Amino acid sequence: LRDFLLVYNRMTELCFRHCVCTLNYRLLTGREESCLDSCAARLVRANHRLMGSYVGLVPALLQRRAAEHGTAGPPGPVAPSSDAPGAGT
């Protein structure tokens, strides 16, 4: 949630600085609204592409890290031990 809010706040700041020219009016002009809409849409699309690439690279990165540390990969589900409390009941 924190990362999402940081991205949202940064996007809002960038688009506001780029699109809002004057603060003479209470409401945005049509031109400012249009600019803000397209600016936000561009940044959202860029963020989606970036997250898609990140999701595609994470498994390879995790495997590489696991190989560097001498393990076979991320741990899978752990089977209950026969000497664990409640086992075999």
pLDDT digits (tens, 9 = 90+) for 13-51: 999 999 998 888 889 999 999 999 999 999 999 888 888
Which own/partner pairs from 15-18 qualify as long-range (CB within 8 Å, at least 24 positions apart)? Answer: 15/39, 15/40, 15/43
Residue 40 is assigned to a structural domain of this protein: yes
pLDDT at 72: 54
The answer to whether position 61 is within a domain reads: yes
CB 7 within 8 A of CB 27: no
In a domain, 72, yes or no: no
Q: Is the pTM of this model over 0.75?
A: no
Number of domains making up the chain: 1
Give the structural domain span for 37: 1-66
The answer, yes or no, to whether residue 89 has pLDDT greater than 50, is: no
Q: How far apart are CA 70 and CA 85, in angstroms?
A: 31
Domain membership of residue 55 (yes or no) is yes
Contact 62, 76 (CB under 8 A): no
Instruction: Indicate which CATH number applies to the domain containing 22.
Output: 1.10.287.810
Q: Is residue 14 part of a domain?
A: yes
pLDDT by residue (tens digit) across 55-87?
A: 888 888 888 888 888 765 555 554 444 444 444
Residue 84 lies in a domain: no
Is 80 part of any domain? no
